[in-house]
Structures are given as structure tokens and as C-alpha cells.
Amino acid sequence: MYPKKWGPAIMDAGGQGSRFKESRFKLGIFQLRSSFMIDFYTASTPNGRKVTIILEELGLPYNLHKVNLKDLEQKKPEFLAMNPNGKIPTIIDNKGPEGKTTVFESGAILYYLAEKHGQFLGESLPEKTRTMQWVMFQMSAIGPIFGNYYYGLNTLTPPNPGFIERFEKEARRLVGVMEIQLSGNKYLSGEGYTIADMVTYPWVAGFIHAQPGWFEDKPAVKRWAELVGARPAVQKAMA
Ligand SMILES: N[C@@H](CCC(=O)N[C@@H](CS)C(=O)NCC(=O)O)C(=O)O
């Protein structure tokens, strides 16, 4: 009835031509001297890809540290010292405004980088607030609801159809909210491409691939996904 796995566009890591140096996250040695300004701890998941998108959009060189989630590297003391929540993504900005700055939570990371570099957020307080309300919509709703649906479908044992139905219904309602917003706006927060689009795209692109039926009557969401997905930085992040 449902596809069981994320498609290759969703879960495979990569990105060619990016200005990053790759290293496996190795416990005990991850504090090696950084050669680039940003150390980026991530894995090949939608939340990780959001940060790749903004790093690529800004053209920032970064040290890529792949974290093995299956081996629970994200729960080790060395990782928890950076991110007490024990999850990717996490960044260390070695040239933060007050020196070395560690940021976790994908929405906060995108906000930090957008504000620092003066791009993809908006100019005025109302513009920034419009951007942030759609960032919050993704962080509090699209991510957790889509994520729980995916968990119910692929991981939960014994299978629980009521659980899946609950999260499918809410996920489809959220896609409907996006459809209304994108019917009258080029991008989620208005006419400009912002971090709201960057945080939302990896999740929605994944589900357009895995659950095309949810988007059959959602032309504005599909139009937006094509527009955002055509950006070179996004293509690198999703490759
Ligand atoms: N709200 C967090 C969610 C981060 C998150 O759920 N990360 C997942 C991968 S997408 C993770 O690290 N899972 C491993 C775990 O929970 O141990 C964010 O957006 O940064």
C-alpha cells in the first residue's frame, strides 16, 4: 500500500563540487584543528540536508563530519558536549561574532547563518517574522508529523494502522496548508526565497517521491518544489 523506503533522492548523501572537506566523525579526535570556518556534523537525512542547502547557497567552505547514527555516535559524550539533544545536525562556527559558536537544531542553524550573512531571512522585522513563522511551521509540524508517519510505516512494531492514519491525516492537512500559501505566493514566506523554503524542501521533496498521491491535487506545492529543487545548491544537497 505504501512505499516502504525513502527514495534515493531522499536518503543518499553526497553533493559534487561543494567546497567541503569530508571526514568521518571519530570519537576522541573530532576536535582536530579545523581548516575551514564551519565544522558541520551531519548524516544523510532531511534535517541534515537543510544545513547543506544553506552552506551551499552561501558558498561557505566547511568541514563535513559524517555522524553514524546507527552506531549512536550522536549519543557519545563528545557529541553531547556540542549538542545536548544528541541529534544531527550541529555546527561549530570557528569565527562566530563572539568567537567559536556551536549551534544545534536545524532551524536555529539556518537562522544563525542567514542572520550572520544577511541573506535569506528578509530585511525588516515583519519580513523576518514571516520567514520565521514558516520555519517554525516546518520545525514544529512538517518535520515531526511527517517523521512520525514515516516511523509508523517503516519501524513501528507491531504495525499500528491507527497510528499511521493519525499522522497521515495530519500530514495531508499540512500539505493543504502549504498549497493555500503557495497558491498566492512564489515562496513560503512571500516573493523571496528564504530559509523557510530551505528547511521545508528536503521533507516535502522526499514525500513527493514516496507519497505522490498526497500531491496529486496540490499544483502550487509541486510548482514550488520544482522551483526550489532546480537551484544548484539544493541539487548538491539532495544528490
Ligand atoms: N529538531 C531537530 C531534529 C533533529 C533530528 O531528529 N535528527 C535526527 C536525524 S534527522 C537524528 O539525529 N536522529 C538520531 C537520534 O535521534 O538519535 C532538528 O531539526 O535539528
CATH of the domain at 130: 1.20.1050.10
87 lies in a domain? yes
Residue whose CB lies within 8 A of the most ligand 1 atoms, among 67, 87, 136, 203, for a mutation test: 87
Q: Are residues 144 and 208 in the same domain?
A: yes
Q: Are residues 15 and 78 in the same domain?
A: yes
Ligand 1 atom nearest the C-alpha of 74 is 17
Is the bond preceding residue 61 a cis peptide, omega within 30 degrees?
no
Ligand 1 atom nearest the C-alpha of 88 is 12
In which domain, by residue range, is 201 found? 125-233
Q: Describe the crossing of helices 195-210 and 106-117 by its angle, rounded to 10 degrees.
A: 140
239 lies in a domain? no
Q: Taking residues 110-132, report their average pLDDT.
A: 98
Q: What is the pLDDT of residues 174-199, one digit of tens each?
A: 999 999 999 999 999 999 999 999 99
Task: Give pLDDT, residue 36.
Answer: 83
For residue 35, is pLDDT > 70? Answer: no
Q: Are residues 108 and 154 in the same domain?
A: no
Task: Give pLDDT, residue 21.
Answer: 74
2 lies in a domain? no
Distance 123 CA to ligand 1 centre (A): 30
Q: Taking residues 146-150, report their average pLDDT.
A: 98
Q: Are residues 157 and 186 in the same domain?
A: yes
- Provide the number of structural domains found in the chain: 2
Q: Are residues 110 and 129 in the same domain?
A: no
- Residue 34: band (very low, low, confident or very high) from pLDDT cuts 50, 70, 90: low
Q: Is 47 in the pocket of ligand 1 (CB under 6 A)?
A: yes
Task: Give pLDDT, residue 27.
Answer: 47
Residue of 30, 239, 201 lying closest to 106 (CA atoms):
201
Q: Taking residues 17-32, report their average pLDDT.
A: 57
Q: Is 138 in the pocket of ligand 1 (CB under 6 A)?
A: no
Q: Taking residues 170-177, report their average pLDDT.
A: 98
Q: Is 218 in the pocket of ligand 1 (CB under 6 A)?
A: no
Q: Taking residues 98-110, report their average pLDDT.
A: 97
Q: Is 174 in the pocket of ligand 1 (CB under 6 A)?
A: no
CA dist 158 and 141 (Å) reads 25
Residue nearest to atom 1 of ligand 1 (CA): 105
For residue 77, is pLDDT > 90? Answer: yes
pTM above 0.85, yes or no: yes
Task: Give pLDDT, residue 22.
Answer: 72
Q: Is the dihedral of CA 151, 153, 159, 165 positive or negative?
A: positive
Q: Are residues 113 and 134 in the same domain?
A: no
Task: Give pLDDT, residue 18.
Answer: 61
42 lies in a domain? yes
For residue 91, is pLDDT > 70? Answer: yes
* Cβ–Cβ under 8 Å, residues 221 and 176: no
Task: Give pLDDT, residue 161.
Answer: 98
1 lies in a domain? no
Q: Is 200 in the pocket of ligand 1 (CB under 6 A)?
A: no
* Cβ–Cβ under 8 Å, residues 188 and 197: yes
Q: Is the dihedral of CA 79, 22, 12, 60 positive or negative?
A: positive
Q: Is the dihedral of CA 162, 167, 172, 174 positive or negative?
A: positive
Q: Are residues 104 and 154 in the same domain?
A: no
Out of 56, 84, 117, pick the residue that ends a domain: 117
Q: Are residues 158 and 94 in the same domain?
A: no
Q: Taking residues 40-46, report their average pLDDT.
A: 98
Ligand 1 atom nearest the C-alpha of 75 is 17
Distance 89 CA to ligand 1 centre (A): 7
User: Which CATH number do you get for residue 106?
Assistant: 3.40.30.10
Distance 47 CA to ligand 1 centre (A): 7
Q: Taking residues 11-15, report their average pLDDT.
A: 34
Q: Is 179 in the pocket of ligand 1 (CB under 6 A)?
A: no
